A and B are shown apart, each in its own frame.
Chain A
């Protein structure tokens, strides 16, 4: 009898401890939870609700269901900025990753003045986007900008780089790749430095060439980093629009406008809160899809050390 009672008491104690631990854990999570709920989850919910009502700039109108979404699908500017954004992502993501990897491999090896080169590669990342945009605005200025001065010296005609719909996107892509690659290089560099030297030694003993070693050992082992970087790069390509404010205002004729910049215009130039919410929900869904792909699908297919 006494034994049973003792066992029960122990079980009871354990249960209470477990419950207390649970409460303790929730209490520790509470501050972060409150902040996230207030500044992330509630606004997302409120934006979604707003997108279901009419009214635009005159305040909250009647419930209109999915009418705002139908209007969005009818809006040629929406399709154009979405197309622009995909072109922008499809170009900046692989280019900046490739450049970052190249730079990382370069400064990982033994090199005279390695610290200086690393610093040089990293500098664009430290500069604020607004400053970068102003510098590049000068590069692209027709006639006396840096690019046209070089072309002029070679006897080529000057070109209106940012004023021509066929070149403006490429100009912005080059600038963003230049700006982003240094940041991604840091991640690759860290991963490369963590790679066990035994692998290299073993490969040397086996007589593997440098390119073969890179292709079959280094690159696969960098995959977790590559994945992390590519997700970030994709998200950045939807998130970074500072340069548009300075350089093109989305022009000419929306040729360089991106989804987030269009949202800004609709919300803060046209004051159409209903439509801006609709576009915002679309952007959130797009980005959530990217993040989900990473967590659910890609993570399982990658070898972590």
Chain B
């Protein structure tokens, strides 16, 4: 750097220090957040933060995109152990027990003040469940989802099926899938009937199947799991049979990250995926597609999913208040509706669906309402103590069954044994 450059640089540094000192009265907040779906969502978050600054010049939010959900909690925990946690973050709603065990977060009931009760009641109860334990509310829903079934209407037409009628039951899904599988001249499969992702979020998909079969995977205290109950085994058996018996899904594990492009490329006629991908699919699909609730065995059902806002214990009282102000602002009905339209996530408040923007959007694109309608069948996502280990255990188990390394029964028996061992000290 030459002399002039150095001078300019030090001038800049001095100015920024002075500027910072001048604004010392403003509250600075750091927020980590993850993106787990397609589309330019970081831009949307940046835009929201900019608008928040305009309305609240006394609060400065620095929103840091931190990767996937797993990456984000890793960064938060590392920062925390290094003594500098962010003041607030968007993390898996299911990280609740982990964060409580680490003594990292504060409950929000008292922080919200006298009219807090009414405010907390303005969110969908199904989304609040994952954030509540021991009579307290620890997190506020933000990017929440359920699993939905996406289907390719053109593929349905081509296979002689009614393009407006998605499968409503497990058996129907198998029957339809058999018709949807397409082979080329040499007998190789060019289109599968249905794909269910099994990397990263395999536990989530298995939970959906278990719920549809009438089985919950964990208790409310988060210290007992029901992995090898008969109905869970049936659920994994059905999933495994899709590829191994019926031949309507690819053998081996199906990658979460590339499944969306499989669907968009017409490699599969149906896929199970988070509704958080809806807008990305809508923007890229070159064919008509539909969105439906997941099919039923004994009942409809999907676990909820996605991320909530948490406020950290290290934050000073005025920072906690400022963080709460931001959370309230960004989940107001108008903003919740906007976020839902731009991503596909379910808006976290019923009131968001009464806003003008949302009603207009849903009129032209009714698929946007499916995930919300499914909420009445939704069950909280698997969330227990030692969540990281249990998720890994479940994902391994699902993959062991899908790749044929173990039978569903044997794989789930082993998982149950290990889970019991891990959770014993929380009982």
Beta-carbon contact of B386 and A251 below 8 Å? no
Q: Which of B101, B253, B265 contacts A163 (CB 8 A)?
A: B253
> Please, which residues of chain A bring their CB within 8 A of the CB of B254?
160, 163
Q: Which of B74, B102, B396 contacts A251 (CB 8 A)?
A: B396
Beta-carbon contact of A252 and B392 below 8 Å? no
Beta-carbon contact of A158 and B253 below 8 Å? no
Interface string of A235-270 (1 = CB under 8 A from B): 000000000000011011111000000000100111
Q: Which of A57, A158, A251, A265 contacts B189 (CB 8 A)?
A: A158
Interface string of B365-400 (1 = CB under 8 A from A): 000000000000000000000101100100111011
Q: A253-B396, A253-B405, A271-B77 are in contact. Are A163 and B252 (CB under 8 A)?
A: yes
Which parts of A44-80 form the interface with B (CB within 8 Å)? Answer: 57-58
User: Is B186 engaged at the interface, CB distance under 8 Å to the other chain?
Assistant: yes
A140 to chain B, nearest CB (A): 10
Majority DSSP secondary structure for residues of A touching B? loop
User: Is A155 engaged at the interface, CB distance under 8 Å to the other chain?
Assistant: yes
Beta-carbon contact of B403 and A163 below 8 Å? yes
Beta-carbon contact of B199 and A251 below 8 Å? yes
> Please, which residues of chain A bring their CB within 8 A of the CB of B216?
none
In the complex, A236→B395 CA distance in Å? 28
> Please, which residues of chain A bring their CB within 8 A of the CB of B267?
143-144
User: Is B2 engaged at the interface, CB distance under 8 Å to the other chain?
Assistant: no
B80 to chain A, nearest CB (A): 11
Beta-carbon contact of A253 and B74 below 8 Å? no
Beta-carbon contact of B265 and A143 below 8 Å? yes
Beta-carbon contact of B399 and A155 below 8 Å? no
Beta-carbon contact of B77 and A251 below 8 Å? no
A248 to chain B, nearest CB (A): 8
Q: A143-B267, A265-B392, A270-B389 are in contact. Are A252 and B188 (CB under 8 A)?
A: no
> Please, which residues of chain B bring their CB within 8 A of the CB of A253?
396-397, 399-400, 403, 405
In the complex, A269→B386 CA distance in Å? 9
In the complex, A222→B187 CA distance in Å? 52
User: Is A157 engaged at the interface, CB distance under 8 Å to the other chain?
Assistant: yes
Beta-carbon contact of A252 and B70 below 8 Å? no
Specify the chain B residue showing the minimal Cβ separation from A157. Answer: B188
In the complex, A165→B400 CA distance in Å? 9
Q: Which of A58, A158, A269 contacts B70 (CB 8 A)?
A: A269
Beta-carbon contact of A164 and B70 below 8 Å? no
Q: A158-B189, A165-B405 are in contact. Are A254 and B265 (CB under 8 A)?
A: no
Beta-carbon contact of A268 and B74 below 8 Å? yes
Can you show 24 pairs from A to B with CB atoms below 8 A apart?
Answer: A57-B101, A57-B102, A141-B255, A143-B190, A143-B262, A143-B265, A155-B186, A155-B188, A156-B188, A158-B188, A160-B253, A163-B198, A163-B254, A163-B255, A164-B403, A165-B252, A248-B199, A252-B252, A252-B253, A252-B400, A253-B403, A269-B74, A271-B102, A272-B389
> Please, which residues of chain A bring their CB within 8 A of the CB of B253?
160, 162-163, 251-252
In the complex, A57→B258 CA distance in Å? 33
> Please, which residues of chain B bring their CB within 8 A of the CB of A249?
199-200
In the complex, A42→B246 CA distance in Å? 58
In the complex, A16→B230 CA distance in Å? 85
> Please, which residues of chain B bring their CB within 8 A of the CB of A269?
70, 74, 388-389, 392
> Please, which residues of chain A bring their CB within 8 A of the CB of B219?
none
In the complex, A160→B405 CA distance in Å? 15
> Please, which residues of chain A bring their CB within 8 A of the CB of B397?
253
Which parts of B220-279 form the interface with A (CB within 8 Å)? Answer: 250-255, 258, 262, 265, 267
Q: A253-B400, A271-B77 are in contact. Are A144 and B265 (CB under 8 A)?
A: yes
14 additional A-B pairs beyond A160-B250, A162-B255, A269-B388, beta carbons within 8 Å, are A144-B267, A160-B251, A163-B198, A163-B403, A251-B199, A251-B399, A252-B198, A252-B400, A253-B397, A253-B399, A253-B403, A254-B396, A255-B403, A272-B389
Which parts of B117-150 form the interface with A (CB within 8 Å)? Answer: none
Q: A141-B258, A163-B254, A163-B255 are in contact. Are A251 and B395 (CB under 8 A)?
A: yes
Specify the chain A residue showing the minimal Cβ separation from B397. Answer: A253
User: Is B402 engaged at the interface, CB distance under 8 Å to the other chain?
Assistant: yes
User: Is B78 engaged at the interface, CB distance under 8 Å to the other chain?
Assistant: yes
Beta-carbon contact of A252 and B265 below 8 Å? no
Interface residues of A (CB under 8 A from B): 57-58, 137, 141-144, 152, 155-158, 160, 162-165, 248-249, 251-255, 265, 268-272
Q: A155-B186, A158-B188, A158-B189 are in contact. Are A252 and B251 (CB under 8 A)?
A: no
Which parts of B49-87 form the interface with A (CB within 8 Å)? Answer: 70, 74, 77-78
Beta-carbon contact of A164 and B252 below 8 Å? yes
Q: Which of A165, A252, A268, A272 contacts B77 (CB 8 A)?
A: A268
In the complex, A251→B200 CA distance in Å? 9
> Please, which residues of chain A bring their CB within 8 A of the CB of B405?
165, 253
In the complex, A253→B397 CA distance in Å? 7
> Please, which residues of chain B bring their CB within 8 A of the CB of A248?
199
In the complex, A1→B394 CA distance in Å? 91
> Please, which residues of chain B bring their CB within 8 A of the CB of A164?
251-252, 403
B164 to chain A, nearest CB (A): 27
> Please, which residues of chain A bring their CB within 8 A of the CB of B402?
252
> Please, which residues of chain A bring their CB within 8 A of the CB of B78?
268
> Please, which residues of chain A bring their CB within 8 A of the CB of B189?
157-158
In the complex, A144→B400 CA distance in Å? 25
In the complex, A272→B389 CA distance in Å? 10
Beta-carbon contact of A152 and B396 below 8 Å? no
> Please, which residues of chain A bring their CB within 8 A of the CB of B396?
251, 253-254
B188 to chain A, nearest CB (A): 4
In the complex, A164→B386 CA distance in Å? 28
Specify the chain A residue showing the minimal Cβ separation from B187. Answer: A157
Q: A141-B258, A253-B399, A254-B396 are in contact. Are A270 and B252 (CB under 8 A)?
A: no
Specify the chain A residue showing the minimal Cβ separation from B243. Answer: A160
A249 to chain B, nearest CB (A): 6
> Please, which residues of chain A bring their CB within 8 A of the CB of B188?
152, 155-158
Specify the chain A residue showing the minimal Cβ separation from B188. Answer: A157
In the complex, A142→B388 CA distance in Å? 29
B122 to chain A, nearest CB (A): 34
B46 to chain A, nearest CB (A): 24
> Please, which residues of chain A bring their CB within 8 A of the CB of B250?
142, 160, 163
> Please, which residues of chain A bring their CB within 8 A of the CB of B198?
163, 252
In the complex, A269→B189 CA distance in Å? 38
